[in-house]
């Protein structure tokens, strides 16, 4: 049975870390103000404001901040400021036994999904493909906060993952499968192939999303996953948005799904509000999920937090 992190409640302490690319200090402080207004206490990593070129400190520094949050008994949720690049660099420096014995809610998307899936695969901790610190702002759609707090602050035996009104899920290949959910940002996962941290899709439902890549590059990444056996090993596929992805050679993202993903014959639902899009579903990485592309539903079928 997977490890379920303790429930998040108002008044709890949130640990803020920067695990990939740096973020402007004023923006970090502004978003922290929103969290405090929501009733949360804040603990900052030592290197949360750091910048080392295109990284927020060295790999060892960013890893030490993350471990500090797992070791802090007061911290109930670890909230990265952003993704960007470089999260995979911290993975060799983490103490996974400490993490296993001190489970916390870990949330994020973009390059943070490398960490989310590593914690699932190595520790068997349920993590959340959901909000980052940058998303705690007044303009964030209520849907995003509803999804986030439903996943992290409400104990339930089942939870439907639904898009906002007017943003339909689309069933493309019929089927009905249940398995652990893995995945996230396509670029980030391709970068881990051939490493000790490459994504394991065997018997699992794979969700993918991307941002600001032309479709010929998205094809290259999908084909890399296929050649690595990842698309053959999974039992179902959920394709999220490809935010800002431009058509290349007349082939759109929808064309690519129809010509490349549909022929794989796996139960397939597309158009899930994910990651880099305006609307962000909260996806529990490592939890059992039912993908029913006959009824066009995605349902979490186990609790994802402990009480």
pLDDT at 284: 98
| Whole-angstrom distance, CA of residue 116 vs CA of residue 254 | 27
Reply yes or no on whether the pLDDT at 216 is more than 90.
yes
pLDDT band at 184; cut points 50, 70, 90: very high
Q: CB 158: neighbour CB atoms within 10 A?
A: 11
CATH code given to domain 11-153:
3.40.50.10740
pLDDT at 1: 87
Q: Where are the domains of the chain?
A: 11-153, 159-300
- Residue located via tokens 């999220």: 240
Name the token pair of 236: 């179902």
Mean pLDDT of 78-104: 98
Estimate to the nearest angstrom the gap between the alpha carbon of 262 and the chain centroid.
23
Element holding 219 (H helix, E strand): helix 215-227
Annotation marks residue 210 as catalytic: no
Question: What pLDDT, in 10s, does the model give residues 57-89?
Answer: 999 999 999 999 999 999 999 999 999 999 999
Q: From the candidates 64, 110, 171, 188, which is the catalytic residue?
A: 110
Annotation marks residue 293 as catalytic: no
pLDDT at 70: 98
Mean pLDDT of 271-294: 97
Q: From the candidates 129, 171, 188, 276, which is the catalytic residue?
A: 276
Annotation marks residue 276 as catalytic: yes
Q: From the candidates 21, 171, 188, 209, which is the catalytic residue?
A: 209
Q: Is 159-300 the same fold as 11-153?
A: no
Give the CATH H-level superfamily of domain 159-300.
LD-carboxypeptidase A C-terminal domain-like (3.50.30.60)
pLDDT at 23: 97
3-state secondary structure of 61: helix
CB-CB contact of 187 with 212 (8 Å): no
Question: What pLDDT, in 10s, does the model give residues 140-159?
Answer: 999 999 999 999 999 999 99
């Amino acid at each position: 049975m997977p490890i379920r992190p303790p429930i998040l409640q108002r008044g709890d302490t949130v640990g803020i870390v920067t695990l990939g690319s740096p973020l402007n200090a004023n923006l970090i402080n502004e978003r922290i103000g929103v969290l405090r207004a929501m009733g949360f206490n804040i603990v900052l990593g030592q290197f949360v404001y750091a910048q080392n070129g295109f990284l927020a400190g060295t790999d060892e520094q960013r890893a030490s901040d993350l471990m500090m949050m797992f070791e802090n008994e007061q911290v109930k949720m670890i909230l990265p400021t952003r993704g960007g690049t470089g999260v995979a660099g911290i993975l060799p420096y983490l103490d996974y036994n400490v993490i296993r014995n001190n489970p916390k809610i870990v949330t994020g998307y973009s390059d943070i999904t490398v960490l989310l899936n590593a914690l699932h695969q190595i520790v068997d901790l349920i993590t959340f493909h959901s909000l980052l610190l940058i998303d705690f702002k007044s303009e964030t759609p209520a849907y995003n906060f509803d999804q986030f707090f439903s996943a992290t602050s409400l104990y339930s035996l089942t939870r439907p993952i639904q898009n906002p009104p007017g943003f339909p899920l689309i069933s493309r290949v019929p089927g009905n499968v249940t398995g652990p959910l893995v995945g996230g940002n396509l670029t980030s996962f391709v970068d881990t192939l051939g490493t000790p941290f490459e994504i394991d899709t065997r018997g699992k439902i794979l969700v993918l999303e991307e941002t600001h890549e032309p479709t010929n590059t998205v094809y290259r990444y999908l084909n890399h996953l296929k050649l690595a056996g990842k698309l053959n090993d999974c039992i179902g596929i959920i394709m999220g948005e490809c935010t800002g992805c431009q058509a290349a050679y007349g082939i759109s993202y929808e064309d690519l799904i129809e010509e490349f993903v549909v022929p794989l014959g796996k139960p397939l639902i597309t158009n899930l509000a994910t990651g880099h899009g305006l609307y962000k579903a909260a996806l529990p990485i490592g939890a059992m999920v039912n993908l029913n592309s006959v009824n066009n539903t995605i349902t979490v079928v186990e609790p994802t937090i402990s009480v």
